Structure 1
Amino acid sequence: MPREEGGDAMEMDASSPTHGPVPQPTTRPAADREVPSSGPGGLLVPLKTETNNVEVSQAKTEVVAEDMEVESGGQKDTAQQEDPMEGSFTWVIEKYDEIQDKKMYSDNFTIGGYKWRLLIFPKGNGTQHVSLYLDVADSDTLPYCWSRSASFTLSVLNHLDPELSHRKDAQHVFCQKESDWGFTQFLSLDELLNDQKGFVSTGR
């Protein structure tokens, strides 16, 4: 499968013209972002930062940042100096088809001494695809001209057959102007919400 070029999560209008099948990356300040809460229904359910032996229960979708490797360098929290430079994080999203939020953030997780989180547009960011990104969780509080480099794989797990999980690789130097990076057209909504495809577990 050819690799799709990654981009940042500038919010798009569905009527905006595009050049080619994949929208080109466009930057925007991190301060423009909204930070939605999980709400009273508790839509965001973080799991431990291990992807092995994950149990799937009724009506859940699992999104993963895996094979993530962070290059050393830059300022880290003192308490996190010994954190491993590699790791994974699994985010379970319940009742995906009932979500009304335009975009959602996972809980923060730490890899390589840095704080990260996943950003998803459940109904797409100006497209008929799920839009999925890796985001620097504390970008608003970092020193001027900060940067950090990471390679990673974003995945939506398939509970019927793990080999059919949808994965895309990316590598990016995160900075003040590009503090998130990922894919505007990650997986089509038709495929994700088709319960025969295996991306949404219905507990059957």
Structure 2
Amino acid sequence: MKTIETKELTLKVKNFSKRKETEIYSDIFLAAGHRWRIMVYPNGKRGIPGFLAAYVQFVDWSTKPWGWTVPAIISLTLVDQLNGTSSVRDCSATNFHGNSDNSWGFNYLVSQTDLHDPQKG
């Protein structure tokens, strides 16, 4: 049986509500021998406004031979800044493969309404 490596990373975005970028990236990190990063789209992605979108990007895709596959289970959690508990969590299993889209994530992680609600952190 193959052991699955897990990696936990915290991407803390200071002054989130005042940020103007369309994309926010984490530093590149290593997990399961590959380089990855988190991408956050505060105002949505792919023509889906009104939601925060978040993805994990497989950074090493261009160094892989044709037909490669890297399986992954991705869990993204948005943490309430007031009490430190998980307020939104989404999880999915996927395979990063080929020379297609090298990111996987969630277009609807949380609505802008909930994200900016002071009562919800």
Tell me if TM exceeds 0.5. Answer: yes
Rounded to whole Å, the distance in 1 between the matches of 2:52 and 2:16 is: 11
- What residue number does 1:120 align with? 40
User: Which structure is richer in relative contact order (CA contacts within 8 A, separation 6 or more)?
Assistant: 1
Report how far residue 196 of structure 1 moved.
1.8
Rounded to whole Å, the distance in 1 between the matches of 2:26 and 2:60 is: 13
- What residue number does 1:23 align with? none
Report how far residue 129 of structure 1 moved.
0.3
Rounded to whole Å, the distance in 1 between the matches of 2:14 and 2:85 is: 22
- What residue number does 2:55 align with? 133
- What residue number does 2:23 align with? 103
| Greater fraction strand | 2
Rounded to whole Å, the distance in 2 between the matches of 1:95 and 1:163 is: 19
- What residue number does 1:180 align with? 103
Q: Which has the larger radius of gyration?
A: 1
CA RMSD of aligned residues (A): 1.9
Show structure 1 runs of 5+ residues with no match. Answer: 1-70, 73-83, 199-204
**Identity rate of aligned residues, in percent?**
25
Establish whether residue 92 from structure 1 lines up as the match of residue 12 from structure 2: yes
Rounded to whole Å, the distance in 2 between the matches of 1:183 and 1:112 is: 22
Show structure 2 runs of 5+ residues with no match. Answer: none
- What residue number does 2:90 align with? 168
TM alignment of 1:2-17, pairs within 5 A: none
Amino acid at match of 1:154: L
Amino acid at match of 1:190: T
Asked if the contact 1:158–1:164 (Cα under 8 Å) also holds between the matched residues in 2, the reply is yes
Q: 2:57 is paired with a residue of what secondary structure?
A: strand
Rounded to whole Å, the distance in 2 between the matches of 1:133 and 1:179 is: 10
Amino acid at match of 1:139: W
Q: 2:118 is paired with a residue of what secondary structure?
A: coil
Moved more, 185-194 or 137-146: 137-146
Q: 1:101 is paired with a residue of what secondary structure?
A: coil
1:164/1:108 CA distance change after superposition, 3 Å: closer
TM-score normalized with structure 2 length: 0.85
Rounded to whole Å, the distance in 2 between the matches of 1:98 and 1:143 is: 41
Report how far residue 148 of structure 1 moved.
0.1
Asked if the contact 2:78–2:86 (Cα under 8 Å) also holds between the matched residues in 1, the reply is no
TM-score normalized with structure 1 length: 0.53
